[in-house]
Amino acid sequence: MGLLFLATVFFISSNVVIYSQRYIEEDPYSERFILLVFGFVISMFLLIVRPNLLRLLLGWDGLGLVSYCLVIYYSSKKSNRAGMLTVLTNRVGDVCLLMSIA
């Protein structure tokens, strides 16, 4: 099951990278966006392939951090508000995750 999820993550993220290379080729910070997508993939990998609790929590928090960075990539007032909503949603997920572990 984990390999199926990983294959899905790699397929979707590779399509995002291929599309974004063409879409944001004029952006001077396009490499940063690609690195953020790779950080997202690594966090998903840690979350999916989790032999212990530490990797599960690292993957989850990594997803929250990278998601926040991706949401505020084009900094504006609207994206900053959406980024804060992402952070708050991740904190709710942290609480639910820790309650389910307890």
**Dihedral angle over CA of 5, 65, 81, 93, nearest 10:** 60
Contact 85, 68 (CB under 8 A): no
From CA 4, how far away is CA 21, in angstroms rounded?
26
- pLDDT of 85 strictly over 90: yes
State pTM to two decimals: 0.82
From CA 74, how far away is CA 79, in angstroms rounded?
7
Residues 6 or more apart in contact with residue 37 via CB below 8 angstroms: 13, 16, 17, 20, 70
- pLDDT of 82 strictly over 90: yes
| Model pLDDT, residue 74 | 86
- pLDDT of 51 strictly over 80: no
- pLDDT of 28 strictly over 80: yes
